[in-house]
Amino acid sequence: MAQRIRGVLAPVLTPFKADLSPDLERFVAHCQWLLSQNCGLAPFGTTSEGNSLSVDERADLLDSLVAAGIDPSRMMPGTGCCSITETARLTSQAVQHGCAGVLMLPPFYYKGVGEEGLYRYFSEVVQRVGDARLRIYLYHIPPVAVVGITTGLVERLLKDYPGAIAGMKDSSGDWNNTKAFLDAFNGFDVFVGSESFLLANMRNGGAGTISATANVNPAAIYELYRRISEEHRKAGSIGEGLDTAVADAEGPTPREATARLDPEDLQAKLNVVRDLFFEKYPMIPALKQAIAIYRNDPAWTKVRPPLVELTAEQAKGLKAEILKH
Amino acid sequence: MAQRIRGVLAPVLTPFKADLSPDLERFVAHCQWLLSQNCGLAPFGTTSEGNSLSVDERADLLDSLVAAGIDPSRMMPGTGCCSITETARLTSQAVQHGCAGVLMLPPFYYKGVGEEGLYRYFSEVVQRVGDARLRIYLYHIPPVAVVGITTGLVERLLKDYPGAIAGMKDSSGDWNNTKAFLDAFNGFDVFVGSESFLLANMRNGGAGTISATANVNPAAIYELYRRISEEHRKAGSIGEGLDTAVADAEGPTPREATARLDPEDLQAKLNVVRDLFFEKYPMIPALKQAIAIYRNDPAWTKVRPPLVELTAEQAKGLKAEILKH
């Protein structure tokens, strides 16, 4: 069995043209930059406005990324839709491209559905895809999807599909929930949805993080991941897996100042950057605004409705705060 | 301008085959029966498991219904997806078929989005469809979609697109909310999402109901609508519109007992039937089970995950209660 992916992944922001169509050139460039920062790619996630794209647009974009030379083995595209048919279609495509895995939302239209219905849904998708290379990361994000992933569901799925059910992304924002999954299962890779839990997750056997902020702060987040991995290696307890890092020679080297910091300090620094984006501003427009600032490229601010870009005043405030860091 | 649709519509249940693919033959037969009961068709709504179908499946099914001779002028398909691209595609198709209108959910993935973002979303869809025949019925169903339709949003949309924004379906289950929309706007047709509010809605200037229970009790619901329409006609205050009724000669005639009842009594009888389905059982599986019972056709019980059909015990209980009525 191929090694499973570990480390830091970004739910890749999707740039749009003025007519709201996806901007492939900017998308590829952003993916290349993230990869160069030791950051894997989770395109079509929540931060990616993945569900604001049609299924055809998602399929075309994934084909285009691969055609542009983006390495599928460092990709975990979001493929969870409300319909089994569409989820199976996007998942099959990702598997055929040799993607490291897929990040799969539960069907999120009907609320209050039970464990049995969700089990049947995921089970049906696994059977329709019917490929031993399939690696599903269940996506738990109750503040957005409302429908969530429970330990009872994972237990049933793992029992019946131990190869296909690879892990989860926990975006509950609740460490007790993450801990419950870490404690309950072996061979089930838990990624936290916020790097603010990265240290805790790694010290408790987690696999890394898939975090929105990795779009703008990937190297620093990876540095914390690398440190703890090193601790584990020294202790002989490292989990097996394919690191999201590029080969050492190519990747960014941590600044000397960072190299002297404790993991706890690295974590504290990550939290400051994260808070900058999450406390004051709507997160996705703020991240796009930040890329527009870093790249001096205003086209990056475009979002698809129902999202709305930052106001001029918000953009100015964000810029001032970014320059402070 | 063509007359707008009024009356009773069913969010048409979608029958599935054993392999979960849509069962066109049963679907057409159910549509034909509903039409014969003076009931218009709102396929691909919540009760239809519309969002459990792929966009391609929805498009193919609408083409197939029209090809099978189902009258588009008595149809209001659900076309609201999370992406502008898909919503515009399905809406354009419906307009090109000459459908009476479309029932449009707001984009329902992102929660807590503001009025501005929703305005931009619907505005973009209207502009992309770009057809003077477009009639949008905004779909407010906060218990499921979580994202809702506000009077402020309707005010902005009506101002800019008075031809395209035709009305709404209010499935809030909150009469005060329905009343607020009825009071706020003229030329905006409000359908209640439950026939339990039909009498109140019609007496306050509403256009009718689009209700799940119309799948199993269409003639009785239409009879209440017809009575109040008759009251309005006598009072000279009838709203203009194309009734969902078939020509009188073809339609079912109310039973003599029913003909002697007051509207209030008719409403009370509707509520009893509705409660039978909504109080004790998960609604969509129970409605499918009821059709399976009426038609003596067990294939009708099939639902797509994440929904789950009734248990054998529930099915038995439902059958006993149906036979009492």
Q: From first to last of the 325 residues of chain B, give the pLDDT tens digit.
A: 568 999 999 999 999 999 999 999 999 999 999 999 999 999 999 999 999 999 999 999 999 999 999 999 999 999 999 999 999 999 999 999 999 999 999 999 999 999 999 999 999 999 999 999 999 999 999 999 999 999 999 999 999 999 999 999 999 999 999 999 999 999 999 999 999 999 999 999 999 999 999 999 999 999 999 999 998 888 877 666 778 876 554 556 666 667 778 999 999 999 999 998 888 899 999 999 999 999 999 999 999 999 999 999 999 999 999 888 7
Report d(CA A72, CA A66) in Å as an integer: 7
Alpha carbon separation from B226 to B49, B181, B223, B239 (Å, rounded): 29, 23, 5, 13
Q: Which residue of B has its CA nearest to A112?
A: B144
Interchain proximity A305–B117, CB inside 8 Å: yes
Nearest to A78 by CA among A100, A96, A68, A69: A100
pLDDT by residue (tens digit) across B209-246? Answer: 999 999 999 999 999 999 999 988 888 776 667 788 76
Q: Which of A84, A144, A308 sits opposite B109 (nearest CB)?
A: A144
Query: DSSP letter at A214?
Result: G
Q: Indicate the range of A65-74, A268-277, A316-325 predicted with least confidence.
A: A316-325
Sign of CA pseudo-dihedral A40, A45, A49, A52: positive
How far does chain B reach from its first CA to its final CA, in angstroms? 43
Element (H, E) at A139: strand A136-140
pLDDT digits (tens, 9 = 90+) for A175-207: 999 999 999 999 999 999 999 999 999 999 999
Distance CA B103, CA B171 (A): 12
Distance between B14 CA and the closest CA of chain A, angstroms = 14
CB atoms closer than 10 angstroms to residue B312: 8
* A85-101 residue pLDDT tens: 999 999 999 999 999 99
- For B7, the enclosing helix (H) or strand (E) is strand B5-10
CA-based nearest distance A304→chain B, Å: 8
Distance CA B131, CA B151 (A): 24
Which of A18-32, A296-310, B181-195, B259-273 comes out lowest in average pLDDT? B259-273
Which of A89, A109, A120 is closest, CB to CB, to B108? A109
Strand partners, B243: B6
> Using the beta-carbon criterion (under 8 Å), do A56 and B108 form an inter-chain contact?
no
Reading the block at residue A22, the tokens are: 């996806």
- How many whole angstroms separate alpha carbon A235 and alpha carbon A310? 46
Asked if the model's pLDDT at residue A254 lies above 70, the reply is no
Task: Please state, in angstroms and rounded to a whole number, the distance separating the CA atoms of residues B65 and A8.
Answer: 48
Token reading at A38:
């030791």
Strands A136-140 and A102-104: parallel
Residue A36: count other Cβ atoms within 10 Å of its Cβ: 14
Contact at 8 Å (CB) between B208 and B198? yes
Q: Where does residue A205 fall: left (phi above 0), alpha (psi -120 to 50 degrees), or beta otherwise?
A: left
**B117 with A307: Cβ contact below 8 A:** yes
Nearest C-alpha in A relative to B125: A305
Report the residue from B81, B106, B305 with minimal CB separation from A84: B305
Residue that wins the pLDDT comparison between A209 and B232: A209
Dig out the tokens for A154 from the structure. Answer: 């994972």
Contacts of B55 in chain A (CB under 8 A): 54-55, 86
Q: Which of A142, A191, A149, A175 is nearest to A6 (CA)?
A: A191
**Cα A79 from Cα A45, distance rounded (Å):** 8
Measured CA to CA, the distance from residue A9 to residue A214 in angstroms comes to: 7
Q: Give chain B's contact residues with A (Cβ, < 8 Å).
A: 20, 46, 51-57, 81-86, 89, 106-111, 113-114, 116-118, 120-121, 124, 143-147, 304-308
Contact A55 B52 (CB under 8 A): no
**DSSP secondary structure code for residue A169 in this structure:** E
Residue in chain B lying closest to A19 (CA): B124
pLDDT of residue A35: 98
Which range (A138-152, A278-292, B119-133, B233-247) has the least confidence?
A: B233-247
ipTM: 0.95
DSSP SS3 for A83: coil
